[in-house]
Amino acid sequence: MFADVIVDIAHSDTDKIFEYSFEDSRIVAGSRVLVPFGKKTLEGIVVGVKEFPVLEKEKIKPVIALLEETPAFSEETLALSKYVADTCYVSRALSFRLFLPSEMRKGKVREQFVSYASLKDDENLDEILSSLNKTAYRQKDVILYLCDNGKTSLSVLNEKFGVSAVKSLREKGYLSVTEEKRLRSPYKDLGDTDKTVALTGAQINAVNSVRNTDKDVTLIFGVTGSGKTEIYLRLISDAIKENKTAIMLVPEIALTPQMLRQLRSRFGEKAAILHSGLSAGERYDEWWRLRTGEAKIAIGARSAIFAPLENLGVVIIDEEHDGSYISESAPRYDTIDIALYRAKYNHAKVILGSATPSVGSYLKAMNGEYNLVELPERINKKPLPDIEIVDMRREIRRGNNSPFSSALVSEIKECLAKKNQAIIFLNQRGYSKTVICTECGHVQKCSNCDVSLTYHKEDDSLLCHYCGAKYKMITACTECGSRFIKYGGVGTERVVAELNKIFPEARILRMDRDTTQTKEGHFKILSSFAAREGDILVGTQMVAKGHDFPYVTLVGILDADMSLHFSDYRSSERTFSLITQVSGRSGRADMPGKVVLQTYSPDNVVLHQAIRYDYKGFYEREISIRKATAFPPFTDIVRVLIQSSDDELAIEATKAIYGELQRIYQNYKQNFKFFGCMKAPLKKLQGKFRYQVLMRIDVNRSDIIDDVFYTVNKYNKGNVTVYLEVNSNNLN
């Protein structure tokens, strides 16, 4: 037989199918194999098998080995990988990588086996014992131990009785040794939720609406604390009862443990978790549990949409509006698109849940394309927390230069006095956002990127948050030599330091990228806060979403303007949803919640809509602006990004590309709402100069976008990289 194989090389010019011969009947479409490739041996994926090759048989080399008996890809995931390659403009080899735990490639991680020993014949114990040398006490101990305890792992026996005793017994043939697969499973001590609740009327309606709709997608628009999770669990249960499988996505790795806990309490070992924070071995084992059907529910952040499940019944995307669902590096996929593909293939349902749906999703619900379910009230009609706007300009005028308004300080004081908990949110890690010379005004910048450096006090360094470069903290201005250096903009480290000064007794936890690098790092901080080992949790957007802490009665939003003044067309949407999300952490149980929102633009319309929880008002205004200005969801934003470490080359390529794209622009002028060429907002990143051709094109014109891609892709060579982004989450 012959196999069509795509070899694991990411270059686009090797996105070709190669033929190999094989005899092993276990090789099927979807198998991973080792094949000879030039002088090398490489891994590849079989995309098809056939009796008659295209090449002459004599020229075809044989497959070297089958890597795993169970094919890594199913018919569906193989087809989906093709869809990703086509729609995200990447090679098949690159698209395959989305589907496999990265360490599985190149055999960096394998199954783990444990050897167990047991007595071959425990009936004739006396005989065995008397046959042993009188002084062989240790061997006798092993025999007696196994007699009492039964099957025991060899490593335990070796440890207890010494290697030589165990070895002699094995040589004498008294022990039988078996190998068993050992599963490395993450989050062993999650505990149970054991809360089975009776659904409220609103929840029952939501579940029934999903069961009865003939639409593929249901948007569950439910305020924070309206009990969406319980609805998800019922829908997953429906799928499991029908012997189908489910994918449950949350926007942050930080949220996966609590979801896993709920799923494990309800579905036991049927739930498996997939995310990049797991150890290589854990991820490998969880992945195979899903692939072999032993586990039926995959939970994770974005990338778990590629879980190796067959026969999907439901895909749930919680906080569907969240930017993290759009991948920012190749393959640049949108998770909802992938979910739709998988749902179509399996006749499964897609559930999008949010307290602040993206305007695009809400528009689809309004148009009748999605089934819409609304949950306008919290469980038990608990009120949403009051949000108080604090004008930080006035605080400054009053001489308060601290990051906290006096209103927030007194709220924290009251919260601590009542032994409740507070969450303080700001979207900036580090100590200060920038360091500035007070003499000449120079701001320290990254030498690879056109961005200012953030001061991290913990290791006294300046860090570039774009490329990761780390510099020593300066003692004098690098421009003028002045020693007067000022910190600009507050980060989480600084907030903790200042809070410690004001509330020396308070126990403060910090959660941001820097404190969650260790294994299960998010989980440790969150469990500690849940166990009330902390009074205040300070953090970036990781603390904003999804968490359900009953004792949190206060939320402080330090800089609500952070996203408001970005030039991005989505800044209002982001601000609205962020405020709603963070506020939603407050007052979820019996005690009423409070939110203090600090801002330098207290009159901003969006802020006022947010504090009234007026999503519909926000939506109406926003959608009419988008329509009038021809922005998504009414157009697709297509950006061709041209980068090179050589500025001249980048400019040259940009000019040529712009020139060629003019032809397409002229052809389809009526479908273009914008067409322009300029420096990228981030002019330099990781040592590369950046230019862009920006387009806004009518929706559903993938033919034009394809044309753009094939026109510009040939410039992607040598020292110039060119790539295409469609509705990217980040237009830096």
Which residues of the shown chain bind ligand ADP in the complex (CB under 6 A)?
A: 197-200, 203, 222, 224-230, 379, 548, 588
- Quote the least distance from Cβ 199 to ligand ADP, whole Å: 5
Element at 410 (helix H, strand E): helix 406-417
Nearest 5°: phi and psi at 203? Answer: -70, -40
Our finding on whether 476 is near Zn ion (CB under 5 A) is: no
User: Out of 163, 177, 396, 480, which residue is the one contacting Zn ion (CB under 5 A)?
Assistant: 480
Amino acid letter for position 472: K
Residue 444 in 3-state DSSP?
coil
Q: Which of 459, 479, 590, 620 binds Zn ion (CB under 5 A)?
A: 479
Nearer to Zn ion, 441 or 659 (CB): 441
449 binds, among ligand ADP, Zn ion, none (CB under 5 to 8 A by kind): Zn ion
Report the C-alpha gap between 258 and 286 in whole angstroms. 17
Give the one entry of ligand ADP, Zn ion, none that residue 121 binds, where binding means its C-beta sits below a cut-off of 5 to 8 angstroms depending on kind: none
Q: For residue 440, state whether it binds Zn ion (rule: CB under 5 A).
A: yes
Tokens standing for residue 530? 């849940």
* Distance of alpha carbon 350 from alpha carbon 215, whole angstroms: 9
Minimum gap (Å) between residue 228 Cβ and ligand ADP: 3
> Between residues 140 and 234, which has the closer beta carbon with respect to ligand ADP?
234
Contact at 8 Å (CB) between 237 and 412?
no
Report what 604 binds from ligand ADP, Zn ion, none; CB cut-off 5-8 Å by kind.
none
Instruction: Give whichever of 77 and 432 is closer to Zn ion, judged by the CB atom.
Output: 432
DSSP H/E element including 360: helix 359-366
Q: From the CB of 355, what's the least distance to ligand ADP, in Å?
A: 7
Which residue, 615 or 672, is less far from ligand ADP as judged by CB? 615
Q: Compare residues 71 and 357 and give the one whose CB is closer to ligand ADP.
A: 357
**Closest to 45 (Cα-Cα) out of 109, 93, 88:** 93
Which is nearer to Zn ion, 387 or 680 (by Cβ)? 680
440 binds, among ligand ADP, Zn ion, none (CB under 5 to 8 A by kind): Zn ion
Q: State the DSSP string of 581-624.
A: HHHTTSS-SSS--EEEEEES-TT-HHHHHHHTT-HHHHHHHHHH
Q: Which stretch binds Zn ion (CB under 5 A): 1-9, 193-201, 460-468, 712-720?
A: 460-468
The smaller minimum CB distance to ligand ADP, of residues 225 and 281, is found at: 225
Binding test (CB under 5 A) with Zn ion, winner from 34, 49, 183, 467: 467
3-state helix, strand, coil in the chain (%, to 5): 40, 25, 35
Nearest distance in Å: CB 373, ligand ADP = 12
Which residue type sits at 477? C
Indicate whether 449 belongs to the interface with Zn ion (CB under 5 A): yes
| Nearer Cβ to ligand ADP (201/399) | 201
For Zn ion, which is the closer residue by CB, 480 or 605?
480
482: contact with Zn ion by CB under 5 A: yes
446, interface contact from ligand ADP, Zn ion, none, CB < 5-8 Å by kind: Zn ion
CA distances from 375 to 172, 227, 358, 574 (A): 71, 9, 16, 21
The item of ligand ADP, Zn ion, none sharing an interface with residue 713, based on CB under 5 to 8 Å by kind, is: none
Q: Which of 105, 215, 382, 442 binds Zn ion (CB under 5 A)?
A: 442
Residue pair 469/406 in contact by the 8 Å Cβ criterion: no
Q: How far is the CB of 513 from ligand ADP (least distance, A)?
A: 24
Instruction: Report the nearest approach of ligand ADP to the CB of residue 238 (Å).
Output: 17
- CB of residue 466 vs Zn ion: minimum separation in angstroms? 5
Q: What is the DSSP letter of 52?
A: S
Given strand 688-698, what is the order of strands in its sheet?
672-685, 688-698, 635-644, 720-726
Q: Which single residue is written with the structure tokens 């080899």?
A: 93
Return the one option of Zn ion, ligand ADP, none that residue 229 interacts with (CB less than 5 to 8 A, by type): ligand ADP
- Comparing CB distances to Zn ion, the nearer of 301 and 464 is 464
Residue 594 binds which entry of ligand ADP, Zn ion, none, CB below 5-8 Å type-dependent = none
Site membership for Zn ion, residue 448 (CB under 5 A): yes
CA 372 to chain centre: 26
Shortest CB 647 distance to Zn ion, Å: 17
| 386 contributes a contact to Zn ion by CB under 5 A | no
Closest approach of Cβ 13 to Zn ion, in Å?
31
Residue with tokens 């006294």: 460
Q: How far is the CB of 223 from ligand ADP (least distance, A)?
A: 7
Residue position matching structure tokens 């599963």: 183
Please, what is the minimum distance in Å from the beta carbon of residue 684 to Zn ion? 9
The CB density around residue 608, as the number of other CB atoms within 10 Å, is: 15
Could you say whether residue 464 binds Zn ion (CB under 5 A)? yes
Query: Is-contact 580 355, C-beta < 8 A?
Result: yes
Q: Could you say which DSSP state residue 220 is in?
A: E
Instruction: Say which residues have a Cβ less than 8 Å from residue 25's Cβ, sequence separation at least 6.
Output: none
Length of the chain: 732
CA 115 remoteness from chain centre: 36
Q: Does 732 bind Zn ion (CB under 5 A)?
A: no
Total of chain residues touching Zn ion, rule CB under 5 A: 15
**Closest CB to ligand ADP among residues 72, 248:** 248
Interacting partner of 225 out of ligand ADP, Zn ion, none (Cβ under 5 to 8 A depending on kind): ligand ADP
CB of 594 to ligand ADP, least distance (A): 18
**Residue 545 interacts with which of ligand ADP, Zn ion, none, CB < 5 to 8 Å by class:** none
**439 in contact with Zn ion (CB under 5 A):** yes
**Minimum CB–partner distance for residue 732 and Zn ion (Å):** 12
Q: Which residues pair with 437 in a beta bridge?
A: 485
Find tokens 């009159």 and name the residue: 603
Determine the Cα–Cα distance for residues 178 and 396; give it in Å rounded to an integer. Answer: 72
Which of 331, 330, 200, 323 is CA-nearest to residue 252? 323
- We find the least distance from the C-beta atom of residue 113 to ligand ADP, in angstroms, to be 40
Residue whose CB is less far from ligand ADP, 139 or 553: 553
Q: Where are the alpha helices (DSSP H) in 182-334?
A: 201-212, 228-241, 256-267, 280-291
Which of 379, 591 has the CB closer to ligand ADP?
Answer: 379
Contact 582, 427 (CB under 8 A): no
Q: Which is nearer to ligand ADP, 354 or 452 (CB)?
A: 354
Closer residue to Zn ion in complex, CB, 144/440 = 440
Q: Answer yes or no: are the C-beta atoms of 598 and 405 closer than 8 Å.
A: yes
Q: How far is the CB of 374 from ligand ADP (least distance, A)?
A: 12
Q: 402-407, long-range: CB within 8 Å, 24+ apart, which pairs?
A: 402/498, 403/490, 403/494, 403/495, 403/498, 403/558, 404/498, 404/499, 404/502, 404/556, 404/558, 404/598, 405/596, 405/598, 407/596
Instruction: Quote the least distance from Cβ 544 to ligand ADP, whole Å.
Output: 12
Q: Judge whether 2 and 50 are in contact, CB under 8 Å.
A: yes
Least distance (Å) between residue 339 CB and ligand ADP: 19
Q: Which does 728 bind (CB under 5 to 8 A by kind): ligand ADP, Zn ion, none?
A: none
* Among ligand ADP, Zn ion, none, partner that 437 touches (CB below 5 to 8 angstroms by kind): Zn ion
Residue 666 CB contacts under 8 Å (≥ 6 apart), including other chains: none
CA angle, corner 637, sides to 632 and 642, nearest 5? Answer: 160
Nearer Cβ to ligand ADP (33/351): 351
CB nearer ligand ADP, residue 96 or residue 549: 549
Torsion of CA 290, 292, 295, 296, to 10 degrees: 80
Enumerate binding residues for Zn ion (CB under 5 A). 437, 439-440, 442, 446, 448-449, 464, 466-467, 469, 477, 479-480, 482
